[in-house]
Chain A
């Protein structure tokens, strides 16, 4: 669902019309008990959407969703009965309470992830269950009854038939909002963070804000579901908010397909109905859910929503043309991507970095003039990548300072540095594996702040407009980088060299003033290296400083204005390429037997021409 371009999300209108008619006509076709089941199902569907947003979209294991649900219901019950407030005023209070709980539960996610986060959130959910069972405010195991019927313009919502329509409106609005988020920038950021939080941070997404947002959104859905539930049943008790209900909810999301919001709804419908059919066999039902979840995880990890694709239905790709990596053809998109602020210089002043006593960098001094291409070479393990990690904010240096574009940057984190114009690629490739190539580039093109996501509520039209503009830019950039053929594919299905090109396009898309490249030529053949040289040269000419960590001496020699050599964490040589390769210390530490250099660089001029010239020269 998330792989489809925005325009297609509105496709298949006929299906939507049919679904719409069925949903509207449903109350006319069922008896009083079935409509009750349907009403409860809708509550769970809203709840599952919220969990799907945290768990599937943002990758945040949230086992406290049942607590958000419970807080929504209980606060409403307490405020309407004890304080005597009206239903809707109490609903606002209880929604706020859920959001506060969401933020509180989200805080641990800033420090721990994956199963640890699961344990923490599970603990919080247990704490909630324990509190409602034992507290006098919640009237313990007896629960709270006499919750008033929500008044609505004279409509009698004590009728479960009419209540259905209220729920339907809320559900459709919730679903639409979720799909809107999924298909626009916030959803893309959350998926990117889920796939690789380090890369997402280094490319300018504030991971902490995104995690809190994920829990907040999840808690809003939980709170809304709780309010609807309290209004429907008009009685709350601890039995409705137990851990086994939490696992039922989890099963809904897993079976439905956690990476698809529609899948979460499907899962909620299927399991709610199944639970109803199995009420007489409650014990075995629990066992059954467990079994089905295990089967789903093993045989259909993408859930019901992913089944058509796994069975080879849907869009058939048979006979699809093999995509080809095209030549880089610089154009307006590449020019537009590069920051207007101009190239930034990098000054590294005595940087040291130790890892538990192991000295990786020692007193490194390095100067990269604005607009230059500076090579950094050195033996494996000499600290080149550590240096890049320091100046891109991933590591805090143990000693020393560095400045980018005249601004002291030592204390800035990766996200702030990215906004300051530092972009990088990674030695082992850190593409977002479950996003398409297009989404990888879109993610980087989007320079809005995650904290400004209030725009989704205040002015959604602005979000749509931004999205359109970004998509147009992305198409152009993909074409200019010669990777348009792969736009809809996941990066991991692509050969290494093509992934490298995608990563480079993604780094350029952030609009850098200085670009740090970590072994961009690894795994490329000569022709592809010549293309890389052309890309790097073009980007530099557009106004970007480049730092190139590389072992391909042919590339380093032909491309770099200056080369620094690191060995054992210190700079042992710094100068023009010719000076550096003639240095005996460099030959000893790094180059070794130089016979391969002769073969790699038979004639400097040819590479320069091939790299600098137009594409005709390079095409074999």
Chain B
């Protein structure tokens, strides 16, 4: 890839237009539109039930969805089945971690690369993940279920990285983590951001969100009602009220 434009096309912008998610008769997301540029880190904030998790699940094809446009660069995600989404460069760290508790840390990570061939590049990715999370290297033969909450979160992020995504969807990575570990998660997100990985971060920890993202979408009742620069939103009285409870 010679120029920035080439890279942008290859990496691809995530375009979402008029996204809707309905479970039976209940609407979770309606008329939601936004974009995530290559290498951009975007947060989604809002109350419980605003549709944040459903938005991520819809992108992954894990929730019933409708949309005018759902594209990642050239790829029409609306036509891609959930199990193939990962091949198009989207990694997903689900809410509540969902590591495979009965399998070893190493197997969990290897499974993260199952959409690709297990070749030298995959082995190199495993090394990178171990470098990023030294604790996972130390624990690699342990059962994932025996790890503490913070270590499981690291494993869930590491597992998502194994598919070498261009865009990482993170759902509440700080949930249940001690303040110190929240700080460590932020450090990891900063490193990934520095490597040019695009991120869509759903998070209730205001500090983490505003530190890790450039821009935030504010969701309310299934709609994106506001977008703004994280630095500005941090001082926005309405957002502070909603998000910090002040």
Which residues on A are within 8 Å of B, measured CB to CB? 316-320, 322, 324-325, 377-381, 427-428, 493-498, 519, 522-530, 551, 553, 589-597, 599-600, 602-603, 606-607, 610, 618, 620
Contact = CB atoms under 8 A, between A and B. Distances in A.
B37 interface: no
A344 B184 CA distance: 38
A461 to B, nearest CB: 38
A526 B246 contact: yes
Interface stretch (B80-88, B112-120, B147-155, B189-197): B147-155
Interface of B: 23-27, 45-49, 53, 95-96, 147-151, 172, 175-184, 204-208, 210, 221-222, 238, 241-246
Given A322-B222, A496-B48, A498-B48, A527 B245 contact: yes
Nearest to B24: A317
Given A325-B48, A551-B177, A593-B183, A381 B148 contact: yes
B178 A378 contact: yes
Nearest to A494: B49
A379 B25 contact: no
A591 B221 contact: no
Contacts of A526: 206, 241-246
Given A325-B48, A496-B48, A519 B238 contact: no
A379 B48 contact: no
Given A320-B26, A381-B149, A597-B179, A620 B49 contact: no
22 contacts: A317-B24, A325-B49, A379-B180, A379-B181, A380-B149, A380-B181, A428-B96, A496-B53, A496-B95, A498-B48, A523-B48, A523-B175, A523-B204, A526-B206, A527-B47, A530-B245, A551-B182, A591-B180, A593-B180, A596-B205, A599-B206, A599-B207
B32 to A, nearest CB: 14
Given A317-B24, A380-B150, A381-B149, A600 B207 contact: yes
A525 B48 contact: yes
A593 B245 CA distance: 22
The 10 A-B residue pairs with the shortest CB-CB distance, nearest first, are A497-B48, A381-B148, A526-B245, A592-B180, A317-B25, A530-B245, A526-B244, A380-B150, A380-B148, A596-B207
Given A498-B48, A551-B182, 10 more contacts: A316-B25, A317-B25, A320-B25, A377-B178, A380-B178, A496-B48, A523-B48, A529-B245, A592-B183, A602-B246
Contacts of A595: 207
Given A380-B151, A527-B242, A602-B246, A495 B25 contact: no
B178 A551 contact: yes
B175 A522 contact: yes
Nearest to A529: B245
Contacts of B180: 379, 589-593
Contacts of B23: 493
A610 B245 CA distance: 8
In the complex, which of the residues B148, B149, B179, B180 has the most CB atoms of chain A within 10 Å of its own CB atom? B179
Nearest to A316: B25
B173 to A, nearest CB: 12
Contacts of A602: 244, 246
Contact of A522 (B147, B176, B208, B243): B176
B177 A380 contact: yes
Contact of B204 (A319, A524, A596, A599): A524
B92 to A, nearest CB: 17
A606 B244 CA distance: 11
A312 to B, nearest CB: 8
Contacts of B172: 523
Contacts of B147: 381
Contact of B238 (A427, A428, A620): A620
Contacts of A380: 148-151, 176-178, 181
A319 B180 CA distance: 45
Contacts of A591: 178-180
Contact of B242 (A324, A525, A603): A525
Contacts of A320: 25-26
Given A320-B26, A590-B178, A590-B179, A381 B150 contact: yes
A488 B131 CA distance: 49
Nearest to A318: B25
Contact of A322 (B27, B175, B241, B243): B27
B179 to A, nearest CB: 5
B24, B243, B245: which has the most chain A beta carbons within 10 Å? B245
A371 B46 CA distance: 34
B25 A497 contact: no
Nearest to A500: B48
B79 to A, nearest CB: 25
Nearest to B54: A495
Contacts of A553: 179
Given A553-B179, A590-B180, A596-B179, A620 B150 contact: no
A316 B24 CA distance: 10
Nearest to A427: B176
Contacts of A600: 205-207, 244
Contacts of A519: 176
Contacts of A377: 178
Given A320-B25, A380-B149, A620 B241 contact: yes
Contacts of B47: 325, 497, 525, 527-528
A599 B183 CA distance: 13
A380 to B, nearest CB: 4
Given A380-B150, A525-B46, A528-B47, A620 B178 contact: no
A319 B24 CA distance: 10
Nearest to B51: A495
B204 A551 contact: no
Contacts of B48: 325, 495-498, 523-525, 528
Contact of B182 (A318, A428, A596): A596
Contact of B245 (A318, A319, A525): A525
